[in-house]
Amino acid sequence: MYLFFAQVAQRPPMTANLILIILIFIIFYFLIIKPQKQKQIEHQKMTQSLKKNDEVITIGGIHGTVINVKDDTAILRIADNVKIEIQKNAIAGLKKSKPEVSEETMEAKT
């Protein structure tokens, strides 16, 4: 009987385990779940704001220019006389425009 009480006394309290599990979940939420949700919302806003003549890159790596935007799809021109229709969610992002370099800055560099 004394052995039973000795074993019960050595166990850590249940609240310590519960606090540890909650702490792990909070860390998991802020490091993984929340940033992924923000990224998903930004991607959804980007696909909803697509307009004609936007230069985009698809998930497959195809670079093209938006010609027409429909409800769920967009038509891209990827070369002369080559057009494809893709799902909006297959667009990875907009191309970053290169900053224009004026002749004055080019002369200053040389």
The DSSP annotation for 70-106 comes to -SSEEEEEEETTEEEEEEGGGEEEEPPPPPP--HHHH
Confidence of residue 13 (pLDDT cuts 50, 70, 90): confident
pLDDT averaged over the chain?
86
C-beta of residue 88 within 8 angstroms of C-beta of residue 73: yes
- C-alpha distances out from residue 25 to 13, 20, 22, 29, Å: 19, 9, 5, 6
pTM to 2 decimal places: 0.67
Q: Is residue 24 in a domain?
A: yes
Counted domains in the chain: 1
C-beta of residue 64 within 8 angstroms of C-beta of residue 83: no
Q: Is residue 61 in a domain?
A: yes
Distance CA 25, CA 73 (A): 38
Q: Is residue 44 in a domain?
A: yes
pLDDT higher than threshold 90 for residue 17? no
CATH number at residue 8: 2.30.30.30
Q: Is residue 15 in a domain?
A: yes
pLDDT score at 63: 95
Which residues form the domain of 68? Answer: 2-97
pLDDT score at 6: 56
pLDDT score at 3: 58
Q: Is residue 68 in a domain?
A: yes
Q: Is residue 91 in a domain?
A: yes
Q: Is residue 60 in a domain?
A: yes
Q: Is residue 81 in a domain?
A: yes
- pLDDT above 70 covers what percent of the chain? 76
H/E segment holding residue 87: strand 82-87
Q: Each residue of 37-79: pLDDT tens digit?
A: 999 999 999 999 999 999 999 999 999 999 999 999 999 999 9
